[in-house]
Amino acid sequence: MLTDGLQRPRRRRYFAGMASWSDNIEAVARAVTAKRLAHDGIGEEQLAADVDMWWHLTAAELECGVIDETGEYVGDEIDWKRKMDGYRDWMRRHPASRAVWEAARYGAPLPRQ
C-alpha cells in the first residue's frame, strides 16, 4: 500500500469535477457516527447530542484510513496505534473540535469565537 509520511494511505486522485467523500469529511463523519450510535430507544435529541460529541473521532479515523466512508474498519484488525495517532493529529490541527468535545464531555462552556 502506498502511504504518505504519516503512514496514512494516499488518497486517490479524482478527475476535475468529481467529488471525493473527503471534500466534506464532517458530513460523512457525522453520518457514520449517527449510524454507529443509533439504537432502539434513543431519541433524536440524544442522538444529535451524541453525534456532536463523537463525530470528531470518526473524522480522525476516516482521515488516517482506519475506517472507510461506510464506517467499516479497513483491514483484518484495528490498527490502534494509527487510530490514536490520527486522533491526536486531528485534535492538534482542529482546536475547535477539542473545545466542543470537552464542553460536551465535561459540561464546560464553549469558548467564545
Dump the DSSP string for 12-76: PP--TT---GGGGHHHHHHHHHHHHH--TT--HHHHHHHHHHHHHHHHHHHHHTSB-TTSPBSSS
Q: Identify the domain containing residue 69 by its residue range.
A: 22-106
**Is 63 contained in some domain?**
yes
Residue 17 forms part of a structural domain = no
- Does a structural domain hold residue 111? no
Name the pTM for this structure: 0.69
More confident residue, 12 or 37: 37
Confidence band of 112 (pLDDT split at 50, 70, 90): low
Does residue 43 lie in a domain region? yes
Q: What total of structural domains would you count in the chain?
A: 1
Residue 4 in domain: no
Is 8 part of any domain?
no
